[in-house]
A and B are shown apart, each in its own frame.
Chain A
Amino acid sequence: MLPMHNTARDSPDVSYFKSTTHLQADYSSESLDEVVLRKFTQSDGTVYNVVFRKGGPVDLDDLEQLCAKVGWPPRPSAKVRIALANSFMVGTLTLEAPDPGSPAAPPPRLVGLARATSDGVFNATLWDVAVDPDLQNLGLGKALVETMVRALLRLDITNVTLFADAHTISFYSALGFQPDPQGIKGMFWFVQGREVDGGGLKRDGTRRGALSRQSPLE
C-alpha cells in the first residue's frame, strides 16, 4: 500500500522544489552528530537543508505526525517517550533553513527518524525507520540508514540488525543488510491471549496498521 500524501502543506512547501543538490555527506568529520545531507532550492530561491542529527531533541508531537503520515497505527505517547529515552541512538532528519537559529528562519520540520536499541557493545537493532512521504524517493532514507550504520560501526558495534517488511528487503539489501544470514531467522513473539497496544503485528501475522514499521519508502 502506498503511503498517503499530505494534502495540507505546511512550511516549507516541498512540492515546489526546483532543484536539489546532493551533497556528499561529510563522513570524514570526527563525529556524525550532525550532517547536512541535501540542499533544496524552492522556486522563489529559498534554500533548505535536510540535516541528519544524532542525539538531538525530538518533539513528540512532530514525531506522532510523521508516524501518522507514513501510515503507522498510533502508539501511546508515554511509551514512545520512554522508548526514545532508552534508545541507544536516535537519528532525525529535519528540513530547515541553512541558519535555523536566525529569527527569520521558518521552524525546522521533522521529516525522518531512525532509532537503534543496543547494548552499546555487541549488538544493535534499528527500529522505526521513517521518511516523510513528501520527501521519499530522494535518497534520504538511504542516507539516514547509512549514517546510522556508520555511527554504530564507529563505536565498534558490529552486529547491526533490523526487521524489514517484505517490500523493503531490497532497499536494505542494497545498503548491505542480508536477510537470514547463515540461516539465522528473525522471530517475533506474540503476547498470548491479548493484544498489547503499541505493537504492530497480530498473532496471525496480519498487521494492525497500514504500513511497515521499518521503512515506508515506496
Chain B
Amino acid sequence: MAGSAAMPTSVARPLKAFTTLQPRPTRRTRCAPERPTALNFSAKPHLRFSKGASAPVSSDGICTQKSQLLSGTGSLKDTTQAREDLLTKSDEHFAELGLAFEWSLAPNLDELNDLFQRVGFPRRDKAKFAEALSNTHCTVWVRATRKSRMAREGQLLAFARATSDKALTATIWDVAVTPGWQRIGLGRALVERLLEALTSQGIPTITLYAEPGVVGMYEKMGFVCDPQGVKGLAFQQKRGR
C-alpha cells in the first residue's frame, strides 16, 4: 500500500508494536529496575480491567483504540516516528562536540555538587544525595569525552534526573548545565532523553517545576503551564516550625 510506512498504527494491529519497535533498545533499561516494596495487597482476587465505555487496553496500559489516539491531538503520527521526533539533536551530533550521555554510571558526587553550585543550586550532603539518587528512577548526565579548554576529559558537564512511580507519573528534577556549555541544547537534550525513556515505559503523566527563566525552553519542548488551570503548588513551612 503506497504510503503505508507513514500511516499510523491501524486498529487491527495491536499497539504492542509500540513497545517492541524500539530504535534504541537500551532506553527501557536505562531507568532503575523494580525494587522490592514494603506495601502489601489484600488477598482478594485482583481486578481485571474495568471495560465500561473505555477503549480496549493492552496489558501495559497503552490505549489501542484509534478514536482515543486521535482525540484532542490533531496530528496522526506513527508511534516510532513520534518517538524519534523526541530527540531534536542526536547522540552523534553531541559526540562530535566531545559530549556523551551516560545513564548507568553514577556521577561523582563531588563533581555533581560542583555543577550544582555553578548553576546556583544548593550543594547537597553527600550521603543524602546518594540516597536520593538511589531512589531516583532515571538519571542522565553528560560527560566530556576529551580534554578541551572548557572541560577535563571525563568531566561532568550536565545532569538531569526523574522520579517516578514507574507506571502513572514522573517528575523531572535538577536539570543543570554548566555555564560555558550552555546554549548548545544540552538541557533540552537531557530532558528529551528522559522523556524518551519515560514514554517508552508508557508513563502518561510527566511533569516538572520550571523556574521563570526556563519556562520558555520547556514550552518549546512541548511542556504546558497550567493546563486548564491545573497549577503546581509547593508546601511552604511556616516560620518557626
Which A positions have Cβ atoms within 8 angstroms of B?
55, 57-61, 64, 68, 73-88, 90, 115, 117-123, 125, 127, 149, 153, 158-166, 169, 172-173, 175-207, 212, 214
Chain A residues with CB under 8 A of B26: none
With both chains docked as a complex, state the minimum distance between the C-beta of A85 and any C-beta of chain B, in angstroms. 5
Q: Which of B55, B73, B233 contacts A179 (CB 8 A)?
A: B233
Question: At the interface, yes or no: B12 with Cβ under 8 Å from chain A?
Answer: no
A64 touches B209 (CB 8 A): no
Q: Write out, one digit per residue, whether chain B residues 176-217 have a CB within 8 A of any chain A CB (1) or not (0).
A: 000000000000000000010001001111111111100100
**Contact B232 A197, beta carbon cutoff 8 Å:** no
A182, chain B: closest CB distance, angstroms:
8
Contact A61 B47 (CB under 8 A): yes
Question: Can you name 19 A-B residue pairings with CB atoms under 8 Å?
Answer: A77-B48, A79-B202, A82-B165, A82-B167, A117-B171, A120-B135, A121-B135, A122-B173, A166-B230, A172-B233, A176-B237, A178-B234, A182-B211, A185-B209, A185-B232, A193-B73, A193-B76, A195-B71, A200-B205
Instruction: Across the A-B interface, give the 6 residue pairs with the lowest CB-CB distance, nearest first.
Output: A186-B232, A199-B204, A166-B229, A193-B77, A202-B72, A205-B227
> Closest chain B residue to A116 by CB distance?
B165
Given the known interface contacts A127-B169, A165-B230, A203-B73, the answer about A122 and B124 at a Cβ–Cβ threshold of 8 Å is: yes
Residues of B within 8 A of A (CB): 34, 37-42, 44, 46-50, 52, 54-55, 57, 59-63, 68-69, 71-77, 79, 81-82, 85-86, 124, 128-129, 131-133, 135-136, 163-169, 171, 173, 195, 199, 202-212, 215, 218-219, 221-238
Interface centre among A64, A120, A173, A185 (most CB of B within 10 A): A185
B42 touches A85 (CB 8 A): no
Q: How far is the CB of B163 from chain A (nearest CB, A)?
A: 5
With A165-B229, A195-B63, A201-B227 known as contacts, the answer to whether A55 contacts B39 (CB < 8 A) is yes
Q: Chain B contacts of A59 at CB under 8 A?
A: 41-42, 44
Once A85-B39, A86-B165, A119-B163 are accepted as A-B contacts, the answer to whether A161 and B209 lie under 8 Å apart by CB is: yes
Contacts of B167 in A (CB 8 A): 78-83, 86, 198
Contacts of A117 in B (CB 8 A): 163-165, 169, 171
> Closest Cβ of chain A: how far from B238's Cβ, in Å?
7
Select which of A85, A122, A178, A201 is within 8 A of B37 by beta carbon: A85
